[in-house]
A and B are shown apart, each in its own frame.
Chain A
């Protein structure tokens, strides 16, 4: 057990001293088992569902595991198999669409899984990509059941689930060498919540997502209602090596768009945009580079805490202070590092 610092306004580690417990996923490499050797089964992604009651993990062992998580108790409820390569990422759909999970894999496929009456089944196999699919993300629920997939073949595909049970697919040439990540923009325009009230029901809806690629670029894509097509809206230059992850902050009363990107170049950039038509401004999360590749950026639900996963085995939590500066409020690292290993 360790102390867990509060993430909010204070930082003294008192009071909110919290707990940490472990959950063993039991992922293992299916192929290697056949030769009776234990092989790597590294987890590549872990995602909570909408209510935080279920945790899905995916791994190099080609499986997806789903756990019920309630306080300190957790129970493996399902193992989904079918991918023929490491499963890179998973994404839960909004519960209004049912209990639906998407997964993408090194095998170039995207699967959409659905649970009904306690039984999981694969309801869609998306095989349009010709190389590893590295990232999947469901759109905000206001936009309907839309799934974005990013692939090493350089393309991003957008799957839309139609009422009759069929799927439409749009394929976009996104990043020539390969695409590593996709992330959706919040459906509501920044500032609209504050200017019109959160429940006016009149806030404009935007249909945008971002992608990060091996061309060191972050791209913003927007849907044009007039032509019914996705268009590249903006190319954001700032990284000097592969962009590993992009994450759009949830828009909960925030006055502007916040987009975080992290890269092989050991930096995290925070991109901000006041309105959908304003220019993007970039700002490094911190002045100096991180110690290693930054693999993942993830926002809290309230959009004011950013978790940064760096290759130096540290997870750092960042928060924008009252003056608009980003400050690291907490670090998590494995125990032995403290001993100087």
Chain B
């Protein structure tokens, strides 16, 4: 027996995945009842019942011991509280005291549970990261197109293919992963991706297909074969291997399901195999007739001239009718009764033998309305097929999404996708909107819109998706990339959020700052620079701190850093800031403190290099042109001492010396004298005032002596200073 003939008609996607594991359906319709308390909606058109969709989560292990009731626990001054984690929207839940222990009449024993904080993290599975990155790139590409000019068929096909590819690749990875690592996470992720795939491809078939001539009936069958493999492949194999197929209890039910799902070729194959083994002539004849009828079914895949397909189908229906009413049929046994109902081509009969609404829709498409236009799906198919199932079975949110798509209700589709998952709604609405298939303004947002909400609904969905990614800070660039493309609301959110992104390394800090610069996030730029500067100042990285404070326009903080530097100099007697200055000099700043620091550092450099005249000139300038804040004057005057006392050369001429003397007098004659002299080096012994006066006397004496010398030996200003030994 040949095993090369497919038992189902899988799509290319399914084949690619080679997902034949018996324990998991390839594209089974995912269930969404992972949270036990999820309610089901029994009416597809009724508004969602919010209460029913509340997800309930339990803290595990419970903070309440098993033998204690929640009520009695609460009476022991305990309750649960929570706090949000900025940046990531995670939540910390903890057992809290209602009142102070002192207020409580009886002391309660505490337990480990009382001191436990439950950190609830909305973690994104690691395996999903490549998918997130890949689909972000597609989003960027679409977002860069002008929505009113993009519209080309090739463009949207290209983008849809990229989305499909991303889903498929992620699914393929998950299937491989599940073979070695069959965890709940992988299982849930697989279910989620299968849902994405099902919704995405159905939406593509209904809303977006450029080739409108391709019948939706055929496309739906294709879609169902790909995404709902509840039809058991193993059973098909078993039946093929069975030498007495017709007597197998599941034979006809299998045939029925295959027919309803449009797997005609599979049915014909298995019937022919059965026929080969059949010895009873009457049964064989009936089987032959059945195969003939099935082979004659007009293919909805083919394109016919207008009206021709309809007449062909009507003829085939007649053929079916004759067959189902023929006397041979009874030889196929009672089990074939349901198959005859399918071949009756009557909607009610088909619905009656269908196991689920998708099967009913598929069967009705194929046997009743194979030429149904997309716009008529609701009227011709859904109105008939859905009610029996909505009354008797649970309809999940995913079902409602699929139904909304088949109804071609774009707004409802987007709303329901919004309930399902932020990725789905963000990207599906992007595609639908960008290519003109969705009018976002039709979605009701009146309460917010009238209050000046300056964003559209599409932004709302994309922002929601971006927020869902915030829990993984390694995705910050992607989060930022989505938010920046969401109008003012997105920018505002980003402007605050990006400030909370931890700057763990200078490389990351550089990236964040660069992003802010490139996207003109001025407030964020200022805020981040300010925080970085504070940290750098704490670490003693003064150059960087000044640089960042200047960018953040915190000139008062620049002044403080300069103070610290000067104080450091006074304390350690060293002023080696070449690196600091190299950075600072590149900055265009009006900060007088930075200007002072530059000149002052220049003085030290010249002094160190024995360019004494130049150093002296700088000092005088600092004092005379107001660059140096007055509190530093005393420091500058003390710095002048070695120059004043230089034996080989008179550095300051008489006018310079007058400037120095005048500066000194301005300090000591001021009512703020004590404040101005604060930076005078303090002595560890003796009273402050005595030490202070002694230092001032030294300074006065030196100035006076220099004045005399400058008259006798006016300094000449050679190009180069004399190198001092």
Q: Chain A: residues with CB nearer than 8 A to chain B?
A: 1-29, 32, 37-48, 50-53, 55, 57, 59-60, 69, 74, 85-86, 88, 94-98, 106, 116-117, 132, 141, 163, 191, 193-195, 197-199, 201, 250, 252-253, 255-256, 274, 292-293, 295-296, 298-302, 304-305, 307, 309-315, 317, 322-325, 327-338, 341
Contact = CB atoms under 8 A, between A and B. Distances in A.
Given A20-B118, A116-B538, A13 B34 contact: yes
Contacts of B464: 8-9
Contacts of B91: 307, 315, 317, 332
Interface in B51-102: 51, 53-66, 68-70, 73-74, 77-98, 100-102
A255 B128 contact: no
Contact of B54 (A41, A53, A328): A328
Most buried by A among B109, B454, B493, B535: B493
Nearest to A116: B538
Contact of B79 (A50, A163, A198, A311): A311
Nearest to B486: A253
A140 to B, nearest CB: 10
A98 to B, nearest CB: 6
B100 A11 contact: no
Given A96-B534, A295-B79, A334-B62, A40 B57 contact: no
Interface string B268-280: 0000000000000
15 contacts: A10-B420, A10-B425, A15-B125, A16-B122, A19-B123, A24-B117, A51-B86, A52-B88, A86-B101, A255-B454, A302-B89, A302-B467, A324-B448, A330-B57, A341-B66
Nearest to A308: B82
A201 B524 CA distance: 11
A254 B524 CA distance: 18
B79 A313 contact: yes
Contact of A327 (B50, B90, B95): B50
A307 B90 CA distance: 11
Nearest to A197: B488
A333 B112 contact: no
A313 B203 CA distance: 42
A48 B92 contact: yes
A39 B89 contact: no
A302 B493 contact: yes
A1 B388 CA distance: 40
Which of A15, A51, A324 has the most B CB atoms < 10 Å from its CB?
Answer: A15
A53 B119 CA distance: 12
Contacts of A250: 496
B58 A16 contact: no
A60 B521 CA distance: 43
Contacts of B79: 292, 295, 309-311, 313
Interface in B535-554: 535, 538
B452 A69 contact: no
A40 B121 contact: no
A14 B58 contact: no
Contact of A307 (B60, B84, B493): B84
| Interface of chain A: mostly helix, strand, loop or mixed | loop
B86 A335 contact: no
A310 B74 CA distance: 11
Contacts of A197: 488, 491
B32 interface: yes
A20 B92 CA distance: 9
A40 to B, nearest CB: 5
Contacts of A317: 91
Contacts of A38: 109-110
Given A14-B34, A15-B128, A193-B488, A44 B418 contact: no
Nearest to A55: B92
Contact of B69 (A24, A42, A341): A341
B94 A46 contact: yes
A324 B447 contact: yes
A295 B58 contact: no
B448 A255 contact: yes
Nearest to B104: A40
B115 A26 contact: yes
A41 B115 contact: yes
B495 interface: yes
Nearest to A39: B107
Given A5-B35, A14-B34, A198-B492, A28 B60 contact: no
A52 B87 contact: yes
B80 A44 contact: no
A20 B110 contact: no
Interface in B476-509: 488-497, 500-502
Contacts of A12: 32, 34-35, 38, 55, 397, 419-421
Chain B: interface size category: 35 or more
A311 to B, nearest CB: 5
Residue of A97, A106, A199 most packed against chain B (CB within 10 A): A199
Interface centre among B91, B108, B123, B451 (most CB of A within 10 A): B91
A120 to B, nearest CB: 14
Interface of B: 30, 32, 34-35, 38, 50-51, 53-66, 68-70, 73-74, 77-98, 100-102, 104, 107-110, 112, 114-125, 128, 184-185, 188-189, 191-192, 195, 397, 415, 418-426, 443-448, 451-455, 457, 460-461, 463-465, 467-468, 471, 488-497, 500-502, 520-524, 527, 530-531, 534-535, 538, 556
A291 B504 CA distance: 44
Given A199-B522, A315-B93, 7 more contacts: A7-B122, A41-B101, A42-B101, A250-B496, A255-B451, A328-B51, A330-B57
A14 B54 contact: no
Contacts of A74: 119
Contacts of B521: 198-199
B452 A16 contact: no
Given A22-B116, A52-B88, A333 B58 contact: yes
Contact of A43 (B54, B94, B121): B94
Contacts of B124: 16, 18
A17 B93 contact: no
A315 B58 CA distance: 10
Contact of A323 (B81, B445, B496): B445
B64 A298 contact: no
B534 A5 contact: no
Contacts of B55: 3, 5, 11-13, 329-331
B80 A23 contact: no
Closest 5 CB pairs of A and B: A324-B447, A42-B97, A253-B492, A335-B62, A5-B55
B32 A69 contact: no
Contacts of A15: 125, 128, 188-189, 192, 421, 423
B92 to A, nearest CB: 5
B633 to A, nearest CB: 21
Nearest to B496: A252
B59 to A, nearest CB: 5
B107 A315 contact: no
Nearest to B65: A336
Contact of A298 (B63, B82, B446): B82
B35 A48 contact: no
A15 B421 CA distance: 8
Contacts of A338: 56, 58
A194 to B, nearest CB: 4
A55 B81 contact: no
A51 B59 contact: no
Contacts of A313: 64, 70, 73-74, 79-80
